[in-house]
Amino acid sequence: MNRIDGYLNEVSWAMGGSFAEQQAARDELRAHIRDELRELRLAGVGEDAAIEQALHDLGDPVMLGRSMRASLGTAPLRRALVQPTGALVLARRNDRHLPPPRMLVALAAMCVMGIAASIVYVWP
């Protein structure tokens, strides 16, 4: 087990949640670490020093996991952290099967006026 996997294991342990949530977080963090390592290697930093720097930049794994656990139930993070390539993330739609309130008032007034007009014409 290398240092990156050990770091990700600590984050997952502190984060809790379902296995799918942990795996999505691990994949996301692994991508960030990979990008940071690439940048550091291009800057001429050695591999061991680059890994150390990348993990240091992310911070303490237990604190990172706890902060991710605290945000698991919030609305913005109820979707998976990582989406498959080509996936569309759409906002939840609030379907109302009733017309708007103004339309309901207009329909009620029309019905009442129709009944009132009928009574006026039929009344002796």
| Continuous H helices in the chain | 3-15, 19-42, 47-58, 61-70, 101-122
| Predicted local distance difference test score (pLDDT) of residue 89 | 57
Average pLDDT rounded to a whole number, residues 16-27: 82
Reported as a single tens digit per residue, the pLDDT across 29-87 is 899 899 999 999 999 999 899 999 999 988 898 888 888 877 665 555 455 555 556 65
Q: Is the pTM of this model over 0.75?
A: no
Instruction: Work out the mean pLDDT of the chain and round it to a whole number.
Output: 81
What is the spatial distance between Cα 14 and Cα 58, in angstroms, rounded to a whole number?
A: 15
Q: Which residue has the higher pLDDT, 112 or 78?
A: 112
Question: Are 14 and 64 in contact, with CB atoms under 8 Å apart?
Answer: yes
| Predicted local distance difference test score (pLDDT) of residue 38 | 93
Question: Are 95 and 48 in contact, with CB atoms under 8 Å apart?
Answer: no
> Could you tell me which of 55, 57, 81 has the C-alpha nearest to residue 68?
81
Average pLDDT rounded to a whole number, residues 118-122: 86
What is the spatial distance between Cα 3 and Cα 44, in angstroms, rounded to a whole number?
A: 20
Average pLDDT rounded to a whole number, residues 102-120: 90
| Predicted local distance difference test score (pLDDT) of residue 120 | 87
What is the spatial distance between Cα 87 and Cα 20, in angstroms, rounded to a whole number?
A: 17
